[in-house]
Amino acid sequence: MNRKLIATQLVALGLVCTLVVAVSAADTVPATVNPTPRTDNGWTTRDAAFNARVKQGNVDLLLIGDSITQGWEGNGKEAWEKYYGKRNAVNLGIGGDRTQHVLWRLDHGNIDGIKPKLAVLMIGTNNSHDNTAEEIGAGIQAIVKQLRAKLPDTKVLILAIFPRNPKPEAVREKNAKASQIAAELADNKMVYYLDIGPKFLTADGELTKEIMPDYLHLSPKGYDIWAAEIEPKVAELMGDKK
């Protein structure tokens, strides 16, 4: 075998090895951190409405998440009006969203051209069936980092993923672990973390239909608890006058 042929084969082998390594690296990137849009009409319509709203400006407070956050417009309507009605607040919650969907939204208009004082984030429960705690935690962290990059003057309050299902079980444990991973970004300067989950539970850790009728989405009482529990921190971070 001549030297040119050997050299050619070695170069080809090197390219194959490089390609294999690149593919393997790509495979290790979880879906939770890969910005991904949804295509259903309800989602695209609501996303477009968010973009139109923020273009109007006058946004001091953002609440970002999935259907639980979107529910401020339903069961949480009275609590929203009481706590956020005069705070120039915008609800950026869409039912069914996972971390990857929020990442895409934040990079495609949902926070463009605004300078809120505070963004409250509660996301991740819709990832809990398909992703590990580490993947979910990484997704939440990616959102926080994106918020910090695009809104450098905005404080971020990460909320632990709310408990779900009637009694303590594996999904709750996974979400709790994911929340702790997300909490690692809290520096108590620009990023903060609160876990108000226990406030929704009985003394023995049970979730009742009075708080979450379907063991996932909040009742009006549940939204009252949510708003009241984060209010001291929200007021502090927004610099509300006493």
Active site residues: 67, 214, 217
CA atoms within 13 A on the CB side of 220: 6
Alpha carbon distance 177, 229 (integer Å): 21
- Coil, helix or strand for 177? helix
Residue at token pair 């984030």? 121
Q: Which residues of 95-118 are buried (b: 16+ CB within 10 A; e: fewer)?
A: bebbbbbbbbbbeeebbeebebbb
C-beta of residue 56 within 8 angstroms of C-beta of residue 27: no
